[in-house]
């Protein structure tokens, strides 16, 4: 059963990678014909923010999560709730969503928007699945973490973090 779950996880990553490759192709081909310069720059900003979340999320897990298997920085034995994980519970997945959305905005092609929506949906479903797994793994500590840190909303996460610090509550 575990091997089947891992295989499904790998297939999901391959689908997201294929859709992302499609988005990159649309972005490259469509940039010359992009209708809105504002959308182009907004897309570039989202791509950069997405890449930052991916990099910082992986680095934070490796630094604080007592990673069991080196190739997968997401396989931790300790709940990580500091750094970017004090803002949102899934910065890596949110990074994928922002990156895909940014590519769609750069491209400004309808098929790129559909691909970005599919990447976002699949990534969101993976977030929900991982939360069940993390609750089983970390128990009540993860429930408290879920109650205080949003799944992927950066603005809400920053607001809550600032309120916790203002109130003197540490995570």
SS (H, E, C) 119-133: HHHHHHHHHHHHHHH
Q: What average pLDDT does this structure show over 141-167? A: 91
Distance CA 20, CA 16 (A): 6
Are 104 and 62 in contact, with CB atoms under 8 Å apart?
A: no
Distance CA 165, CA 22 (A): 42
- Name all domains of the chain by residue range, CATH numbers in brackets: 2-167 (1.20.120)
Q: What average pLDDT does this structure show over 96-124? A: 90
pLDDT at 166 over 90: no
Q: Give the dihedral of Cα atoms 120, 125, 128, 134; nearest 10 deg.
A: -100
Tokens 């298997």, located at residue: 69
Distance CA 39, CA 44 (A): 9
Nearest to 122 by CA among 14, 3, 41: 14
Q: Which residues pair with 67 in a beta bridge?
A: 76
Are 109 and 100 in contact, with CB atoms under 8 Å apart?
A: no
Report CA torsion sign: 70, 74, 79, 80.
positive
pLDDT tens-digit map of 116-145: 999 999 999 999 999 999 999 999 999 999
pLDDT tens-digit map of 71-94: 555 678 899 999 999 999 999 999
Mean pLDDT score of the chain, rounded to an integer? 84
């Amino acid at each position: 059963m575990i091997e089947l779950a891992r295989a499904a996880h790998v297939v999901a990553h391959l689908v997201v990678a294929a859709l992302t490759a499609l988005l990159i192709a649309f972005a490259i081909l469509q940039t010359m014909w992009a209708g809105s310069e504002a959308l182009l720059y907004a897309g570039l900003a989202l791509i950069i923010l997405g890449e930052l979340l991916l990099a910082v999320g992986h680095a934070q897990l490796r630094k604080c999560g007592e990673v069991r298997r080196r190739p997968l920085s997401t396989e931790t034995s300790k709940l990580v709730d500091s750094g970017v994980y004090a803002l949102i519970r899934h910065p890596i997945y949110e990074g994928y969503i922002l990156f895909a959305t940014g590519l769609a905005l750069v491209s400004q092609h309808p098929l790129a928007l559909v691909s970005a929506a599919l990447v976002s949906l699949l990534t969101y479903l993976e977030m929900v699945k991982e939360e069940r797994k993390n609750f089983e793994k970390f128990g009540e500590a993860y429930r408290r973490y879920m109650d205080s840190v949003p799944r992927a909303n950066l603005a809400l996460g920053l607001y809550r973090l600032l309120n916790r610090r203002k109130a003197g509550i540490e995570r």
